[in-house]
Amino acid sequence: MTNTTEQTDVLICGSGSAGLCAALWLSRYGINYKILEKRDGPLKMGQADGVQTRTVELFDSFNIAEDLLKDSYHVLELAFWNSNQAGGIRRSHYAPDKETALSHQPHVILNQARLNEIMVEAINRTGEIPIEYGVEVRSVEVDEEAANDPDAYCVHVKAAKDGVERTIAAKYVLGCDGAHSVVRKSLGFKMLGDSSDAVWGVMDVYPRTNFPDIRKKAVINSEAGNLIIIPREGDALVRFYIELPAGTVVKDVNKESLQKQAQLIFQPYTMEVAETAWWSAYVIGQRRADFFTKAHRVFLTGDACHTHSPKAGQGMNVSLQDGYNIGWKLGAVLNKQAPPSLLETYVSERQSTATELIDFDRYFTKLFSSKWRQENGISSEQFAEAFVKAGRYTAGQAVKYGESAITSYNKETEKLAPNVDVGMRFPTAQVMRFSDAKAMQLIKALPSICRWYVLVFAGDITDSAAAARLDKIATGLQAMAEELTPVGADPDSLIDPVLVLSGKRTVVEQEQIPEYFTPVTGKWGMKNLHKVFFDDESYNDGHGHAYECYGVDPALGAMIIVRPDQYVAKITQVDDVNGVADFFRGFLNPVGRPKLNGKHE
């Protein structure tokens, strides 16, 4: 039995991390979308739990990090244990879980089900999430001829619920339906890669033990094998990743064999499992889809296009980043801010990220293999050093996007802010907000609210030359904003200016700040005073030294463009208004207003 065809702008197949993160963006852009989920309800207990610092930053950008941080276990220290050469283990040393400068956010542990719930709660604040449970996606087809029309509902998805089949026509479809993706298989795409002969077990347990580091993230290398401890939220539950002996077959593994292997690795400490909440066994493998898109109308995300081992804690985190990347781009295209060609950057950016992830995972997996370390002469000290060095990657902070219409490299101008990397997430530093003397992280001025940001580091405007320069910059940027912003929209709704000044805050008056940086916005038509910051001493939190952190010379200044997803798009001279305008004209749709230099055709 088949129902008539329904229509939606975006159909998301699967309500996992990637799908919900994309949906969060779409809800903020006001896009018409629908989510189909095969399960009969929300995820109750996810298998993923590691929340890397970049993911916490992502949640904070949506202003939903508070519950995440409150409910989670915070990973602060690593404990390394090695064989004592007498059949037991001894602690070799402690190490910090992350470099202090890596992120202002912590690495935490929280069940994926709770993360999903936090995203759903955020979406519901803008209107009830359009998710339908108990629906099986059966096929996906793209009318490639119709796909040339950007307004065409050219993707047809057949789905069934309770035996009733129906067809949904969409402009775009996201395949967020996991490693066994029906969307991927329906398009004829294949997963390329391989599996190793290494078998690992994983279990969430309530342990009774005298092992001293049971509530710390710990790596144990014993003569009996390797084990990783991941304490879970709630102060009781603990996850073990357990290396199983060579020759182990997954189907022969059971709960009891996992517990026995763990007890051997923990010797001479006792390890009694009071209860096992969940367990599994898996063969380590790395695979990537041969294609990430069909006609740039169907896009694969998360496990549907890349799978790898869980030990680096990347699966859920990289999937979230996939959704974070495609979500704002779909929003911008469907709102006519940018042409459909913007979506090509999802493939170029996330496909390369997936390839790098798989290469890293192969190396990281070998590090945990007792056999590989013995064959290659890797000592326990070298293992620990390599583990800590990998922290930048496992934290999600090593992603770097290549040249594109929305990422512009220039080696000369990048010297103006040498500690900021084009193509990478914008690093944060403490600044003081001018309007209320609040010390805060600069990244908090760049939330994920569907805007581009232009950061102007204008130096010390008590100097008359710097002040005159800033006035000229403001005039040029305002003309650019008027050209590119839709008529009737707030002047900062598409391109949001952020001014960062050096020098003493208390000797500058509000009237010295160009009005472009304090636009009249919002329901009440009030002047927005929250876009101006000083790199100055605060009352209670010290000095952030932001200019020094970014490497910006106050006398020279710099202008930095940051994308809606907080990645750096361009670094240029502080007065390069025409260069900034040309950058935006390169991918934003014209709105029929005068250009800075001439008229629209």
514 touches 491 (CB < 8 A): no
Instruction: Please answer whether residues 128 and 144 qualify as being in contact, where contact means their C-beta atoms are separated by less than 8 angstroms.
Output: no
Phi, then psi, of 566 in degrees rounded to 5: 75, 15
Distance in angstroms (rounded) separating the CA atoms of residues 593 and 478: 13
Among the listed residues 207, 231, 310, 427, the single catalytic one is: 310
Q: Which of 241, 324, 516, 550 does the annotation list as catalytic?
A: 241
| DSSP symbol at 589 | P
User: CB–CB of 584/464 below 8 Å?
Assistant: no
- Can you give the C-alpha Rg of the chain in angstroms? 26
- Give CA angle at 111 (118, 276), nearest 5°: 150
- 3-class DSSP state of 292: coil
CA distance linking residue 24 with residue 298, whole number of Å = 18
- Between CA 256 and CA 225 the distance in angstroms is 17
Q: Distance (Å, rounded) from C-alpha 467 to C-alpha 463?
A: 6
How far is Cα 582 from Cα 397, in angstroms, rounded to an integer? 29
Which residues share a beta bridge with 595?
Answer: 598
The amino acid at 572? T
Residue 241 known to be catalytic: yes
**Beta partners for residue 404, in sequence order:** 407
Name the residue among 419, 430, 400 with its Cα closest to residue 569: 400
The CA distance from 584 to 405, in Å, is 9
Which one-letter amino acid corresponds to residue 243?
Answer: E
Which residues are 149's β-sheet partners? none
49 a catalytic residue? yes
In whole angstroms, give the CA distance from residue 249 to residue 292: 32
What SS3 class is residue 537?
strand
CA-based nearest residue to 461, from 450, 471, 452, 453: 471
CA distance 570 to 559: 8
Burial of 509 (0-12, 13-18, 19+ CB in 10 A): exposed
User: Considering 28, 29, 33, 49, which one is annotated as catalytic?
Assistant: 49
Residue count of the chain, please give it.
Answer: 601
d(CA 321, CA 128): 23
Residue with the two structure tokens 């025409």:
578
Q: How many helices (H) and strands (E) does the chain have?
A: 14, 28
Residues 6+ apart with CB under 8 A from 418: 551
**Of 28, 54, 184, 232, which one is the catalytic site residue?**
232
CA distance 259 to 284: 20
DSSP structure class, residue 579: H
Distance in angstroms (rounded) separating the CA atoms of residues 565 and 325: 7
**Residues with active-site annotation:** 49, 232, 241, 310
